[in-house]
């Protein structure tokens, strides 16, 4: 018999003013379940999660939490005021029976020591602290609202492995498709205030959603009411774009093949050919460029040639120097050595992820037309602002909406609309996916696919890179960067690991010393507990199982015909490889911690 649910939300209703946000929404979470909560931006996902956490009271409906069940909620904007340091904030979320050492382990895994002053934290660091606080007690239910926001790839892959190994039930809201594919086992779709449930993971969700919407569309057409059709346009546009993107992915594979053939002898750039390429075919040529800050090398002797139409992704852990490399390639930062040549007639446009230029009092239409009438000039041709708004999923009624009233996803779409209205042939995107919902990501992928110029893209979103780029420039170590033809999954297949693996290899000895120094103070108090002894006994078998899984996945991915035969299977296998590698690293680190405790504590 299946275990009874730990948490039940039934017929939840909530409105703001005259707007009904939730109208009969339901949610049921059983022990160990892996649920993804999805829906359009502004549909009420975060609100429903806060009701589940008990932070907001619904106007109607019921909430039931099993007596004794523990629940933790990841806050989007955590409040660390009143705490002396980050460690105090994280430990305050622990219960009397929880393992205090786990708080330190989680903070270290997230790149923090615990001694940081709350007032000095960046937004991303505060999010990491909140993540550690939510995970540390190992609760029965974890409610996570955009847990990967502002995390780099190594930490995202570590988090994916940590959650995969967790016994907690999970309810996830995320825009990271690869993250959802790796963790979700069931889907809850929040649409127009109500919920639908699919007993499959995210990989099956979009096809199922499209089928539901197509059935509704047929019913709507039977009504022959224009208002109904207009209301449904926003949702059906998502389906149409996804189908177009399937075809565009096929075209992207052709571009990648051309890129791979052209870069069969990487590492050297013919400067004679570069100088002759003033027709616009050559966009950027970098020859042995290097950059250091003090004693630290950021880029060492890197060369590349980027041609018109290339889509190049730059990826690496935080602090590796991605933005520094990007700025050297576009000519805004001079290298210490080497040379960068830019092609003739380059017109560059960048995406302002900070939205710093958006005045909250200005209306949506004024922001697009810059206050000059009702026309937007796109590619030199005038278009009416209402028609251009529709391209970016805005309704005509939103034209007079002040920007301060827009949601995060809507502000992201406005940012795209402004950028793509400007004439350009080089598009520079530094972390464009932060805070964008799935629908806006679909839109951005479509815009990049249709873009006639060249794209330079810095991103931590693995699925987004696979869908958009023809090559990847990846951080290796000590300022070395390597270019790989294809997307993120192609890079993993060629180098045998993701971003995390190479970074952690270099840090392994330092990590062991840190673990030893952190464990020693506790050794004077006690040895291994019963749970620790059991974990120490079972970890070798788990590591052996993970190592075998990694070997099998690497063998599958090494098959040159695998991608052509089953692109979806290839992506799933590379994602599983990253999770298994991160899981093995985590298990080895934990085994070392327990061995030190055993040896020095007499356990």
CB 36 within 8 A of CB 188: yes
As to burial, measured by CB atoms within 10 angstroms (0-12 exposed, 13-18 middle, 19+ buried), residue 561 is exposed
Highest average pLDDT, of 130-134, 258-262, 343-347, 498-502, comes from 130-134
- As a dihedral over the C-alpha atoms of residue 469, residue 471, residue 476, residue 482, rounded to 10 degrees, the angle is -160
Distance between CA atoms of residues 303 and 269, nearest Å: 7
Please say if the pLDDT value at position 93 is more than 70.
yes
Higher pLDDT among residues 247 and 88, named by residue: 88
Q: Which two tokens stand for residue 204?
A: 């099956």
Lowest-pLDDT choice from 96-100, 322-326, 526-530: 526-530
CB 182 within 8 A of CB 164: yes
Q: Token match 């009701």: residue?
A: 51
Residue (of 338, 328, 390) closest to 364 by Cα position: 390
pLDDT at 284: 92
Higher pLDDT among residues 549 and 56, named by residue: 56
Strands 169-173 and 34-38: parallel
Please say if the pLDDT value at position 279 is more than 70.
no
CB 171 within 8 A of CB 141: yes
Sign of CA dihedral 318, 323, 328, 329: positive
CB 577 within 8 A of CB 557: yes
Contacts (Cβ under 8 Å, ≥6 apart) of 471: 256, 259, 263, 310, 311, 312, 313, 483, 484, 485, 486
489-546 pLDDT tens trace: 888 888 877 775 334 433 444 444 444 444 444 333 445 666 677 777 888 888 888 8
Angle value at C-alpha 560, between 554 and 564, nearest 5 degrees:
110
Q: Token match 């790796």: residue?
A: 182
Instruction: Report the first-to-last Cα separation within the chain, whole angstroms.
Output: 39
24-80 pLDDT tens trace: 999 999 999 999 999 887 788 999 999 999 999 999 999 999 999 999 999 777 889
Distance between CA atoms of residues 253 and 468, nearest Å: 10
User: How many other CB atoms are there within 10 angstroms of residue 59's CB atom?
Assistant: 11
Pick the CATH number of 503-601 from 1.10.287.380, 3.30.70.380, 2.40.30.20, 3.30.450.40: 1.10.287.380
pLDDT at 178: 92
pLDDT band at 246 (very low <50, low <70, confident <90, very high): low
Please determine whether the domains at 7-211 and 251-347+424-495 fall in the same fold group of CATH.
Answer: yes
Strands 186-191 and 34-38: parallel
pLDDT average, residue stretch 387-395: 84
Q: Which two tokens stand for residue 462?
A: 């693995």
pLDDT at 210: 86
Across the chain, how many H-helices and E-strands are there?
20, 20
Distance between CA atoms of residues 193 and 39, nearest Å: 10
CB 14 within 8 A of CB 59: yes
Higher pLDDT among residues 341 and 243, named by residue: 341
Higher pLDDT among residues 463 and 275, named by residue: 463
Q: How far is CA 516 from CA 445, 510, 519, 594, in A?
A: 46, 10, 5, 10
- Class assignment of domain 7-211? alpha beta
Q: Which two tokens stand for residue 312?
A: 């190049």
Share of the chain above pLDDT 90, in %: 34
Q: What are residue 505's phi and psi, to 5 degrees?
A: -60, -45
Higher pLDDT among residues 248 and 448, named by residue: 448
190-226 pLDDT tens trace: 998 999 999 999 999 988 998 888 887 777 666 555 5
Q: How far is CA 32 from CA 7, 170, 198, in A?
A: 12, 7, 17
User: How many other CB atoms are there within 10 angstroms of residue 572's CB atom?
Assistant: 17
Distance between CA atoms of residues 538 and 487, nearest Å: 37
166-183 pLDDT tens trace: 999 999 999 899 999 999
As to burial, measured by CB atoms within 10 angstroms (0-12 exposed, 13-18 middle, 19+ buried), residue 220 is middle
pLDDT at 100: 85
pLDDT at 338: 93
Q: Tell how far CA 453 is from the center of its chain.
A: 25
Q: What are residue 176's phi and psi, to 5 degrees?
A: -85, 100
Distance between CA atoms of residues 159 and 146, nearest Å: 12
pLDDT band at 153 (very low <50, low <70, confident <90, very high): confident
What topology does CATH give the domain 251-347+424-495?
A: Rossmann fold (3.40.50)
| Residue 155, phi-psi category: left (phi > 0), alpha (psi -120 to 50), beta (remainder) | alpha
pTM more than 0.85 = no
Lowest-pLDDT choice from 183-192, 364-373, 405-414: 405-414
As to burial, measured by CB atoms within 10 angstroms (0-12 exposed, 13-18 middle, 19+ buried), residue 353 is middle
pLDDT at 87: 95
In the chain, where are the structural domains located? 7-211, 251-347+424-495, 353-423, 503-601
pLDDT at 440: 78
Q: Which two tokens stand for residue 543?
A: 């590591």
Strand, coil or helix: what is 482? strand
As to burial, measured by CB atoms within 10 angstroms (0-12 exposed, 13-18 middle, 19+ buried), residue 284 is buried
pLDDT at 244: 59
Compute the mean pLDDT over every residue in the chain, rounded to the nearest whole number: 81
DSSP 2: P
Higher pLDDT among residues 141 and 467, named by residue: 141
Q: Which residues share a beta bridge with 133? A: none
Please say if the pLDDT value at position 119 is more than 80.
yes
């Amino acid at each position: 018999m299946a275990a009874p649910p730990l948490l039940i939300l039934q017929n939840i209703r909530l409105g703001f003013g005259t707007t009904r946000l939730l109208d009969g929404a339901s949610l049921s979470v059983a022990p160990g379940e892996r649920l993804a909560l999805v829906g359009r931006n502004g549909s009420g996902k975060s609100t429903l999660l806060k009701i589940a956490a008990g932070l907001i009271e619904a106007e109607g409906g019921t909430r039931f939490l099993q007596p004794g069940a523990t629940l933790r909620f990841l806050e989007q904007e955590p409040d660390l005021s009143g705490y002396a340091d980050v460690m105090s904030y994280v430990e305050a979320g622990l219960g009397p029976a929880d393992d205090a050492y786990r708080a330190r382990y989680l903070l270290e895994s997230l790149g923090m020591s615990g001694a940081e002053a709350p007032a000095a934290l960046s937004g991303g660091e505060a999010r990491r602290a909140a993540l550690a606080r939510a995970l540390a007690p190992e609760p029965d239910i974890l409610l996570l609202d955009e847990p990967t926001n502002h995390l780099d790839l190594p930490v995202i892959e570590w988090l994916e492995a940590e959650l995969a190994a967790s016994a907690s039930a999970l309810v996830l809201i995320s825009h990271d498709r690869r993250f959802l594919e790796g963790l979700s086992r069931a889907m809850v779709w929040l649409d127009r205030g109500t919920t639908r449930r699919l007993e499959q993971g995210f990989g099956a969700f979009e096809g199922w959603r499209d089928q539901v919407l197509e059935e509704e569309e047929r019913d709507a057409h039977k009504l022959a009411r224009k208002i109904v059709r207009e209301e449904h346009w926003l949702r059906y546009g998502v389906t149409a774009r996804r189908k177009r993107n399937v075809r565009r992915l096929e075209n992207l594979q052709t571009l990648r093949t051309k890129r791979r053939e052209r870069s069969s002898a990487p590492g050297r750039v013919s400067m004679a050919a570069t100088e002759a390429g003033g027709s616009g075919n050559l966009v950027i040529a970098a020859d042995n460029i290097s950059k250091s800050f003090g004693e630290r090398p950021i880029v060492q002797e890197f060369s590349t040639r980027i041609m018109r139409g290339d889509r190049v992704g730059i990826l690496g852990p935080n602090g590796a120097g991605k933005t520094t490399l990007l700025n050297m390639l576009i000519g805004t930062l001079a290298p210490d050595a080497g040379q960068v040549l830019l092609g003739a007639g380059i017109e560059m446009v960048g995406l302002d992820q900070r939205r710093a230029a958006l005045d909250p009092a200005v209306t949506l239409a004024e922001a697009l037309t810059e206050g000059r009438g009702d026309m937007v000039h796109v590619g030199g041709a005038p278009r009416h602002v209402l028609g251009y708004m529709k391209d970016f999923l805005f309704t005509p009624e939103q034209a007079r909406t002040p920007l301060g009233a827009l949601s995060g996803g809507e502000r992201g779409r406005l940012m795209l609309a402004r950028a793509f209205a400007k004439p350009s042939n080089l598009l520079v995107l530094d972390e464009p996916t932060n805070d964008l919902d799935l629908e806006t990501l679909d839109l951005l992928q479509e815009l990049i696919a249709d873009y006639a110029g060249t794209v330079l893209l810095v991103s931590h979103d693995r699925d987004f890179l696979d869908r958009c780029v023809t090559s990847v420039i990846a951080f290796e170590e000590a300022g070395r960067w390597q270019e790989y033809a294809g997307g993120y999954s192609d890079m993993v297949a060629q180098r045998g690991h993701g971003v995390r693996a190479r970074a952690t290899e270099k840090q392994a000895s330092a990590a062991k010393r840190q673990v030893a120094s952190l464990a020693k103070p506790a050794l004077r108090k006690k040895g291994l507990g019963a749970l620790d002894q059991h974990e120490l006994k079972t970890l070798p078998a788990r590591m052996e199982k993970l190592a075998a899984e990694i070997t099998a996945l690497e063998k599958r991915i090494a098959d040159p015909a695998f991608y052509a035969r089953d692109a979806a299977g290839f992506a799933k296998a590379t994602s599983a490889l990253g999770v298994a590698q991160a899981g093995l690293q985590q298990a080895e680190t934990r085994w070392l911690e327990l061995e030190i405790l055993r040896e020095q504590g007499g356990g």
